[in-house]
Amino acid sequence: MTTPLPPQPVVPRPSGKPEKEHWDYEEVYVRGDKGSFLALGVIAGVVVLFIMFFFGVRSWIETRIDPPGEPGDVVELTLERGDSSGSIANLLEDNGVIPSATVYGWYIRLKGGVEFQAGDFEFRENMSISEVLGVLEEGPVRVALAPTLSVTLPEGLTIEQIAERIDDVEGLTFDGNDFLRQLRNGRYRSDYGPPLGALEPDMEEWEGLLFPDTYSLLAESTPDDLITLLIDNMNAVGDRLGLYRSQDRVGLTPYETLIVASLIEEEAKVEEDRAKIARVIYNRLEAGWPLGIDATIVYFTGDNVLLQSELETDSPYNTRLRQGLPPTPIASPGEKSIEAALNPADGEWMYYVLTSTDGTHSFSETAEQFEADKQICIELDLGCGP
C-alpha cells in the first residue's frame, strides 16, 4: 500500500503580477477566432471567383465551339494539299467562318486531327466547329466539268483520213486542215520517227506515228492539244511494248518496225493472223523477196481498186516490184499490230492469202500451195487479184 504524502504548505501567490494577465490571455484567444473567420471568408471568395472564372471560361469556349446565332453568308475557300491545321484555322477565322482559331486548334488536337481532300470548299459565316468538320469530311465542292468532245481515231487511218475524222467532230474550234498545218510545221518530234532527212520532201513524215484511240477534247482545245496527245500516246505505247529494243528483237529500227506494224494493220482481218503475217514479212525480207503487199500500192495511189497498170508502175511503195520495206508506214498501227511486229510467230511461211469470209488467211511455204489457196479466194470472191 502506498503511504499518503504529508500535507504540503500552501505557497502564497506572488503579489507582484496583477490578475489582469489572465484576461490578456483571453483577449488573444478572441482575436484568433476573428482571423479564422477572415481566412474562411477569403477562401470562400476565392472559390466563388474560381467558379465564376470556370463558368466564364467554359461559356467563352462553348461560344467559340458553337457560336450563337444562325450561320451567315457562304464563304468559298480553297484548301491546298499540305495545309496544316493551324493555317486552316487562321484562314477560317480571318474569313469569319469560326470565331477563334485557337479554340479550333484545341478542338482538333483533342479530336486527334481531321483528314480532308484539297480543293474548293463552301463554308458559311458563324459556323460551329462540328459543322466546319462536316464540310471538310464531305470533301471539296464538285465543280461541273466542261462538256467534252470525243475524237475517235480507229486503227488503220492515214494522216489525211485522221484530218477527215476531225472534220466530222462538231463543236471543235479547228478543222482537219488546221490540224495538218499544225502537225507539219516542224515543231514536233516523235521518239520513234525517221532519221532527219531520211524521207523525200513529198513523203508524210508523221504517217504511222500518231496513236489511234478515242481522245476527249474541250470545245476550246487547239490542234496542238490533240497532236500532243497523239504523239505522247504513241511514245507511251511504244515504250511499254519495248519498241526501243526492236533492233535486238527483230533486227529493225523502231521506225522500220512501225512500218511493219502498219502493214500488219492493213493486212490482218482477225487477231490470230497478225503474228503470222509478221513472220511472212520477216521471212521475205530475209530472203530478199519483194513483199508483194498491194496495200502499199493502194496507199501510194489512193485507189482502193487497183488497175493492172498501177500494179506495174514503179514507185517507192510498189512492194511487188521493189524489195524491202516501203519508206514510211502506210497507216496508223494499233497496239496489237505493234506487238505482233515485235513478236512474230514461228514458221517458214512465205505466202498468205484470204480464204474465208470471216477474214482468216491461209499461210503456205510453197508457191504451189499458195496458188491452191488463192483459187479458194477467187471462188469466194474475196477480192484476190492477179
pTM over cut 0.85: no
- Residue 13 has a pLDDT of 53
Looking at the structure, tell me whether residues 130 and 264 fall in a common domain.
Answer: no
365 found inside a domain: no
Contact status, residue 379 vs residue 367, Cβ threshold 8 Å = no
Beta bridge partners of 368: none
Looking at the structure, tell me whether residues 36 and 184 fall in a common domain.
Answer: no
Domain boundary among 93, 116, 138: 138
264 found inside a domain: yes
> Which of 245, 249, 281 lies closest to 262, judged by CA?
281
Looking at the structure, tell me whether residues 266 and 341 fall in a common domain.
Answer: yes
Looking at the structure, tell me whether residues 218 and 90 fall in a common domain.
Answer: no
Number of domains in the chain: 3
Q: How far apart are CA 292 and CA 221, in angstroms?
A: 42
Beta bridge partners of 361: 354
Instruction: Let me know if 254 is exposed, middle or buried by CB neighbors in 10 A (0-12, 13-18, 19+).
Output: buried
Contact status, residue 350 vs residue 283, Cβ threshold 8 Å = yes
Contact status, residue 168 vs residue 189, Cβ threshold 8 Å = no
Looking at the structure, tell me whether residues 230 and 276 fall in a common domain.
Answer: yes
| Amino acid in the structure at residue 161 | Q
User: Which whole-number Å values give the CA distances from 137 to 58, 115, 140, in the listed order?
Assistant: 27, 7, 9
pLDDT tens, the chain, 386 aa long: 444 445 555 455 555 545 444 444 445 444 555 566 676 766 766 776 666 666 655 665 767 677 887 888 889 888 887 788 788 889 999 999 988 888 888 887 887 667 777 888 989 998 888 888 888 888 887 655 678 899 999 999 999 999 999 999 999 999 999 999 999 999 999 999 999 999 999 999 999 999 999 999 999 999 999 999 999 999 999 999 999 999 999 999 999 999 999 999 999 999 999 999 999 999 999 999 999 999 999 999 998 888 889 999 999 999 999 999 999 999 999 999 999 999 999 999 999 999 999 999 999 999 999 999 999 999 999 988 76
- Residue 67 has a pLDDT of 80
Q: How far apart are CA 129 and CA 123, in angstroms?
A: 11
> Which of 343, 358, 369, 127 lies closest to 246, judged by CA?
343
95 found inside a domain: yes
Contact status, residue 338 vs residue 262, Cβ threshold 8 Å = no
Contact status, residue 128 vs residue 120, Cβ threshold 8 Å = no
25 found inside a domain: no
Looking at the structure, tell me whether residues 193 and 112 fall in a common domain.
Answer: no
Q: How far apart are CA 69 and CA 322, in angstroms?
A: 88
109 found inside a domain: yes
357 found inside a domain: no
- Residue 288 has a pLDDT of 98
| Amino acid in the structure at residue 165 | R
Q: How far apart are CA 98 and CA 299, in angstroms?
A: 70
Domain boundary among 116, 138, 160: 138
Looking at the structure, tell me whether residues 195 and 340 fall in a common domain.
Answer: yes
Looking at the structure, tell me whether residues 57 and 133 fall in a common domain.
Answer: no
CA 330 to chain centre: 33
SS3 annotation, the chain: CCCCCCCCCCCCCCCCCCCHHHHHHHHHHHHHHHHHHHHHHHHHHHHHHHHHHHHHHHHHHHHHHCCCCCCCCEEEEEECCCCCHHHHHHHHHHCCCCCCHHHHHHHHHHHCCCCCCCEEEEEECCCCHHHHHHHHHHCCCCCCCCCEEEEECCCCCCHHHHHHHHHCCCCCCCCHHHHHHHHCCCCCCCCCCCCCCCCCCCCCCCCCCCCCCEEEEECCCCHHHHHHHHHHHHHHHHHHHCHHHHHHHHCCCHHHHHHHHHHHHHHCCCHHHHHHHHHHHHHHHHHCCECCCHHHHHHHHCCCCCCHHHHCCCCCCCCCCCECCCCCCCCCCCHHHHHHHHCCCCCCCCEEEECCCCCCEEEECCHHHHHHHHHHHHHCCCCCCC
Looking at the structure, tell me whether residues 194 and 60 fall in a common domain.
Answer: no
Looking at the structure, tell me whether residues 126 and 225 fall in a common domain.
Answer: no
Can you give the residue range of the structural domain that contains 131?
Answer: 74-138
368 found inside a domain: no
Q: For residue 263, how many other CB atoms are within 10 A of its CB?
A: 28
10 found inside a domain: no
Beta bridge partners of 351: 364
Looking at the structure, tell me whether residues 117 and 177 fall in a common domain.
Answer: no
Looking at the structure, tell me whether residues 132 and 158 fall in a common domain.
Answer: no
In CATH, what number is assigned to the domain containing residue 114? 3.30.1490.480
